[in-house]
Structure 1
Amino acid sequence: MSTFENTTPFNGVASSTIVRATIVQASTVYNDTPATLAKAKKYIVEAANNGSKLVVFPEAFIGGYPRGFRFGLAVGVFNEEGRDEFRKYHASAIHVPGPEVEKLAELAGKNNVYLVMGAIEKDGYTLYCTALFFSPQGQFLGKHRKLMPTTLERCIWGQGDGSTIPVYDTPIGKLGAAICWENRMPLYRTALYAKGIELYCAPTADGSKEWQSSMLHIAIEGGCFVLSACQFCQRKDFPDHPDYLFTDLDDNKEHDAIVSQGGSVIISPMGQVLAGPNFESEGLITADLDLGEVARAKLYFDVVGHYSKPDVLSLTVNEHPKKPVTFVSKVEKAEDESNK
């Protein structure tokens, strides 16, 4: 395990404008959610003992990012083995709220941290790629569901809607998230900027060198701290299966071959890399964030303030939940008619 830091020694007393933040770069324990939660606990405790007030985990840490899984999918083909694979994947996902969410809230409270956790959420038999938010008081604050899954992800995950794009106004800064390639959606980024995001969490499965450019751009564009968290995985972290396709990096089939190379990084509103990127191993990436940097960055450029052009350009965000079925009882109908 490696630890990448740009911090001052923690003496138990922190400035009101300085927040120590940690990214956990680690792999899911696939098909074993209790073991994944135990692994998360270990890292949360370690980060908290080092003085961190914010801990961010990668995309789909609970439940797993199914890199290389095919689920037997092909146009016009229905595959029994793929259905069985999805059954296992669905079993590893969690209900929100649910017992695993309660456990994570307890961990956040016991360790006095804000926690952002990537998870696969199951709502009935549909799965969502979700970011969960927790407070140091042990409260589950809410969630963000990924709006648009990427490529084959769309076959196994549902799409989020505008009802779960929160930015939480906390004592350590305004906290929100965009998951993986949502960060390439300029209108979604603009919605987060308009909500005043200062601690911009980017749980992702993109460990490419090119991803670093996107994170740097967002920090400067939004005048916010960007915390990009990605899993570091080797082939041995995944279940054995002859149909898995791992070709992101190379065709090395050895157990120690790197499948997801991480690259977790923390960047300031001025575009300075504060910690990371780590392309080498599992571990913690930690930095001290001076919230005063947000105001300094926005002197010259405030994307939804003095540098916007609302007379020419505007954005409307629909935050209403999109439900496929809405039930209206007969009693409610009768009351409605009597009020006319």
Structure 2
Amino acid sequence: MSSCVKVAAIHAASVFLDRKKSTEKAIGLIREAARSGAELIAFPESFIPGFPVWAALWPPIDNHDLFAAMARESVLVDGPEMNMLRAEARELGVFLSVGFSEKSPVSVGGLWNANVLIGDDGSILTHHRKIVPTFYEKLIWASGDGAGLAVADTRLGKIGALICGENANPLARFALMAGGEQIHISNWPPIWPTRRPKGGGNFNNVNANRIRTAAHSFEAKAFGIACAGFMDAKMRAFLLERDPAIGDVIDGTPRAASFFVAPTGEPTGETAQDEEAIVYAEFDLEDCVEPKQFHDVVGYYNRFDIFDLRINRTRLVPMKTAGASDPDFVPVDPDFDEPQAHPRTTEGLR
């Protein structure tokens, strides 16, 4: 089996707040990347149905209609849009990393910032919800959990992914390193406004993303795919039509870039920033081996007698039920006034 993998990052704009058209656009881009030989294709943060940048631009009391639109256009992980992408992956024999706004099956306004890794057989290998929404994202998305904080062992190698600011979370990153990660995917929004131009010092997200991506690859000795969204003319016009006064803010905010890094943290492959593009890189996973001689933080270059990381991978749900047909049902002993301890609750505590 060859250790070389051709990967692609989709540096493209969503069809803003339109899940159907964004999915159709994604499928067209997947087909183009597959024709060019890409076996692993990554999409930006919340590509379906788009990134809610308005949360940075106006107070939440002015954005009720936009939140309602985001809730309406977000997708279920087992919904028709995801099924279309899974079918495409299976048909083309490619792996897909897709950022999307996930809606809750039990709450019409419950949303998560999510990412799935879809296998070349169409199966969902990992389903991750961003652990903590960043800054103004908290006005849109709920906190996720550790259920998807995992690495998929595939024929291409071991693949992991984190969303945007999670790539500055040392423990989240270490969890993927400890899973043997060889290819790390990070996905990002098209712009990230933090200040008005006259205030100065707008957060340089492009520089920050390069630092975070390079740092993770250097520490993990893994290849990195940084895949960012793009703000096209239609998205810009939509925002300006709502409020022309924010033109200086969005035009004065750096546009995100998509790029690749080697296990040394150095750049490799193609890059894109100022226009939509599919960029490509060739990863030879054998290049992950030699740097491990210098620092292997999940091997010899650590002290596990000193440090201990534990991860709760329970998928959080709003309600748990117990009944005679439920495998977690705990019967009550009539001779005792409290429920018996379920074996699974005490396992490992003795």
Fold conserved between structures, TM > 0.5 = yes
Is 1:119 paired with 2:113? no
Give the 3 Å change call, closer, same or farther, for CA 135–260 of structure 1 in structure 2. Answer: farther
Letter in 1 for 2:25: K
Match of 2:173 among 189, 204, 207: 189
Structure 1 segment 85-124 matched on structure 2, within 5 A: 85-123=66-104, 124=107
1:205-261 per-position Cα deviation (integer Å, ceiling 9, x unaligned): 26522321111111101110110100121353242312884666645xxxxxxx662
Q: Distance in 2 between matches of 1:335 and 1:243?
A: 63
The answer to whether the 8 A contact 2:27-2:88 is kept is yes
Q: What is the DSSP-based 3-state SS (H/G/I as helix, E as strand, rest coil) of the residue aligned with 2:63? A: helix
Pair 1:169-2:153 in alignment: yes
Aligned to 1:219: 217
Asked if 2 retains the 8 angstrom alpha-carbon contact of 1:135 and 1:141, the reply is yes
Q: 1: distance between equivalents of 2:18 and 2:325?
A: 46
Determine the structure 2 residue equivalent to 1:297. Answer: 291
The structural deviation recorded for 1:303 is 1.2
Mean CA deviation greater in 41-50 or 136-145: 136-145
Runs of 4+ in structure 1 off by over 4 angstroms are 243-249, 330-334
Residues in 1 aligned to 2:166 and 2:222: alpha-carbon distance in whole angstroms:
17
Could you tell me how far 1:279 is from its partner in structure 2?
2.0
Task: Quote the Cα distance in structure 2 between the aligned partners of 1:263 and 1:278.
Answer: 6
Contact 2:114 2:129 in 1 (8 A): yes
Preserved contact between residue 174 and residue 198 of structure 1 (Cα < 8 Å): yes
SS in 2 for 1:189: helix
In the TM superposition, what is the alpha-carbon distance from 1:70 to its structure 2 partner?
Answer: 5.6
Pick which of 268-277 and 224-233 moved more. 268-277
Task: State the 1:139 CA deviation.
Answer: 2.2
* Displacement after TM superposition at 1:321 (Å): 2.5
Matched, 1:311 2:297: no
Find out whether 1:209 has 2:207 as its counterpart: yes
What's the TM-score, normalizing by structure 2? Answer: 0.83
TM-score by length of 1: 0.85
- 1:251-290 to structure 2, matched below 5 A, reads 251=252, 261-290=255-284
Q: Please say if 1:59 is aligned against 2:45.
A: yes
Q: Deviations over 1:116-163 (max 9, x none)?
A: 000000002211011111111222333111001111111210111111
State how far apart, in whole Å, the 2-side matches of 1:317 and 1:246 are.
43
Q: Which moved more, 1:204-213 or 1:94-103?
A: 204-213
Aligned match of 1:241? 242
For residues 112 and 55 of structure 2, what CA distance do their matches in structure 1 show? Answer: 16
Matched, 1:24 2:5: no
CA change 1:334–1:290 in 2 (3 A) is closer
Change (3 A) 1:97 1:71: farther
Residue number in structure 2 paired with 1:329:
323
* Alpha-carbon distance in structure 2 between the residues aligned to 1:266 and 1:137: 25
The Cα RMSD (Å) is: 2.3
Residue 128 of structure 1 aligns with which residue?
112
CA distance in 2, matches of 1:171, 1:322: 30
User: Matched residues, percent identical?
Assistant: 28
Q: Distance in 2 between matches of 1:234 and 1:57?
A: 16
Higher strand share: 1
Query: Shift of the alpha carbon at 1:203?
Result: 0.8
Q: Which amino acid aligns with 2:20?
A: P
1:215 to 1:71, Cα distance in 2 relative to 1, 3 A:
closer
Partner residue of 1:139 out of 111, 120, 123 = 123
**How far does residue 72 in structure 1 lie from its aligned partner after superposition?**
6.2
Query: 1:234–1:260: 8 Å Cα contact kept in structure 2?
Result: no
In the aligned structure 2, how far is the partner of 1:244 from the partner of 1:109? 46
Q: Aligned in 2, Cα 1:248/1:300: closer, same or farther, shift over 3 Å? A: farther
